[in-house]
Amino acid sequence: MAKMFIAGESVDSVTGQTTEVRNPANGEVVDTVPKGIAQDAQRAIDAAAAAFDQWSHTSAEERANMLFKSAELVESERKPLSELLTREQGKPLQESATELEHFLHGLHFVAGLASKVRGAQVPLPAKNAYGMVIRKPLGVCGAIVPWNFPLTLMGTKVGPALAAGNTVVVKPASTTPLSSIRIIELMNQAGFPKGVLNVVTGPGGVVGEELLKNPKVRRIAFTGESGTGKHVAEVACSDFKRVTLELGGSDPMIVCDDADIPKAITGAMVGRYWNAGQACLAVKRLYVFDKVFDAFVKGLADKVARYQPGDGLTKAEKPNIRMGPLHTAAQREEIEAQVQDAIDRGAHVVIGGARPEGKEYERGFFYQPTILVDVPDDARAVQEETFGPLLPIFRVSNLDEAIERANNSIYGLGSSIWTKNIDNIDAAIDRLQAGNVWVNSLHYGYDELPFGGVKASGFGREHGPEALDYYMEPKGVVITH
């Protein structure tokens, strides 16, 4: 059985209760984890609070070295960790390996920043006086992580928090705790003082809620649904915690008639069907100019037909590409309901639109990659976040129409434009209501750039040197001599 990691030790819940983690491809139990309660979270928070003074006064270089070392230790178990991630999450092995690679890249990036934090010296109007801005870590940080990219989304919180001198309690999603626990055990072997980096497993409404409410926690980094995010903001902000929210998305992709169509097709395919479409940052509404619409839809459908649902631990026969199951039964039911709603409103299925048939699919939550056209703007697939392999494609007559419809969403995470025309590019960068705009590029969160949303996609930024700003408080100092 996997265990929580608190104050330098692997521990059970105080109740001794456990939860099973099941493989979404076949329903088999992968392992069990402690079913933590508030008291377990309190133990971890207390340990993190006790470790803060020492860790925040450790030299920046030493913190950086420990982060580099921890990345090395994680790297040493690259293969078993990727396999474990596939078994608990469902994604194909190659995608798990890519996720782990992204986690390591992010950790290296932020470890490099740890010793490069700068403050400021400021001239003041007062006589014989000057000001300084120094930057102080915040204290205990709660990192609340979803199940779709459990490793990268843990890394984007843990890395900058530790680099800046904070201590951390991680709360992984209940269905994907295993690879996260192993990573935290490995990272701790780098020599972090006891209590600096902890992980507590258990239900979000219990363990997560304790992190939101406990006054010793001074910072919450949350990634998850917008509805949960709203609750997180209400509870954590009422205790004056610093909060960042990385929430849902419904990214528009705009394809103009002068775009490189084969490249745009690949961008749409990977951008939508990676992780079986269970990504915050994904092409969820595709707006294609009238002149290239038919060719684009046909070209994309031909490529998407190569996806073959199946167990992520097995490979599809070339030229097919493996697509894993959806993560839970509820996730699949929601996609099915969104597809049915669109069809009821007049949409047409270009490809997919159902579960795959066959004995090999009976035990997993598989769904076919799906493309819809003629979807009206009031359909659920347009208004809501679609968290699965479902892509509605819309015909538009010009860029103004595309941008207006792209912005007609409560979300504002990613967006992209595919064109060679600099005026179109300018307009899209300026007018798309989103935290990120990609130009002729795949929707991908680079560690080097700030990443986050606007509107119901949340606030605050992860990634980039900017991420560190959310883990430090500037302190104004006046010196008179």
Separation between Cα atoms, residue 29 and residue 298, nearest integer Å = 40
Kind and range of the H or E run holding 454? strand 454-455
CB nearer ligand NAD, residue 368 or residue 436 = 436
Residue 216's contacts (CB-CB under 8 Å, 6 or more residues apart) are: 45, 46, 48, 49, 139, 140
**Within positions 284 to 303, which residues make up the interface with ligand NAD, using CB under 6 A?**
none
What's the closest the beta carbon of residue 303 comes to ligand NAD, in angstroms? 24
424 binds ligand NAD (CB under 6 A): no
Kind and range of the H or E run holding 421? none
Using CA atoms, how far residue 437 sits from 86, 194, 251, 418, in Å, is 30, 41, 10, 11
Active site (annotated) includes residue 256: no
- For residues 98 to 137, the per-residue mask of contacts with ligand NAD, x marking binding by CB under 6 A and - elsewhere, is ----------------------------------------
277 binds ligand NAD (CB under 6 A): no
What's the closest the beta carbon of residue 429 comes to ligand NAD, in angstroms? 20
Q: Which stretch binds ligand NAD (CB under 6 A): 125-133, 247-255, 347-355, 398-406?
A: 247-255
Can you count the helices (H) and strands (E) in the chain? 15, 24
Q: Which stretch binds ligand NAD (CB under 6 A): 23-31, 48-56, 92-100, 145-153?
A: 145-153
Q: What's the token pair of residue 264?
A: 């745009």
248 binds ligand NAD (CB under 6 A): yes
Mode of pairing for the β-strands spanning 217-223 and 140-144: parallel
144 binds ligand NAD (CB under 6 A): yes
Among 199, 247, 265, 286, binds ligand NAD (CB under 6 A): 247
What's the closest the beta carbon of residue 115 comes to ligand NAD, in angstroms? 27
The full DSSP string for 60-129 is HHHHHHHHHHHHHHHHTTHHHHHHHHHHHH---HHHHHHHHHHHHHHHHHHHHHHTT---EEEE-SSTTE
What's the closest the beta carbon of residue 300 comes to ligand NAD, in angstroms? 22
160 binds ligand NAD (CB under 6 A): no
Rg of the Cα atoms in the chain:
23
The catalytically annotated residue of 99, 185, 246, 384 is 246
CB nearer ligand NAD, residue 13 or residue 419 = 13
CB nearer ligand NAD, residue 152 or residue 370 = 152
- Cα–chain-centroid distance for residue 389? 17
CB nearer ligand NAD, residue 185 or residue 209 = 209
- For residues 177 to 216, the per-residue mask of contacts with ligand NAD, x marking binding by CB under 6 A and - elsewhere, is ---------------------------xx--xx--x----
- For residues 443 to 472, the per-residue mask of contacts with ligand NAD, x marking binding by CB under 6 A and - elsewhere, is ----------x---xx--------------
Using CA atoms, how far residue 344 sits from 8, 125, 331, 333, 454, in Å, is 55, 69, 20, 16, 31
SS3 136: strand
385 binds ligand NAD (CB under 6 A): yes
Mode of pairing for the β-strands spanning 129-137 and 472-480: antiparallel
Using CA atoms, how far residue 343 sits from 7, 43, 340, 347, 392, in Å, is 53, 51, 5, 4, 11
Which amino acid is residue 289, in one-letter code? F
- CA atoms within 13 Å, Cβ hemisphere of 442: 14
Spatial strand order of the sheet with 4-6 comes to: 9-11, 4-6, 197-199, 167-171, 140-144, 217-223, 242-246, 458-459
Size of the site for ligand NAD (CB under 6 A): 32
74 binds ligand NAD (CB under 6 A): no
What's the closest the beta carbon of residue 248 comes to ligand NAD, in angstroms? 3
Q: What's the token pair of residue 401?
A: 């129409």
What's the closest the beta carbon of residue 38 comes to ligand NAD, in angstroms? 11
What's the closest the beta carbon of residue 408 comes to ligand NAD, in angstroms? 18
The catalytically annotated residue of 88, 185, 280, 384 is 280
Active site (annotated) includes residue 20: no
| Relative orientation angle of helices 93-114 and 78-89, to the nearest 10 degrees | 120
345 binds ligand NAD (CB under 6 A): no
CB nearer ligand NAD, residue 64 or residue 200 = 200
Q: Which stretch binds ligand NAD (CB under 6 A): 28-36, 66-74, 225-233, 298-306?
A: 225-233
Using CA atoms, how far residue 420 sits from 260, 439, 442, in Å, is 8, 9, 15
Among 78, 230, 231, 315, binds ligand NAD (CB under 6 A): 231
380 binds ligand NAD (CB under 6 A): no
Q: Is there a contact between 149 and 444 (Cβ–Cβ < 8 Å)? A: no
224 binds ligand NAD (CB under 6 A): yes
Active site residues: 246, 280
Residues that bind ligand NAD (CB under 6 A): 144-149, 153, 171, 173-174, 204-205, 208-209, 212, 223-225, 228, 231-232, 246-249, 280, 385, 387, 413, 453, 457-458
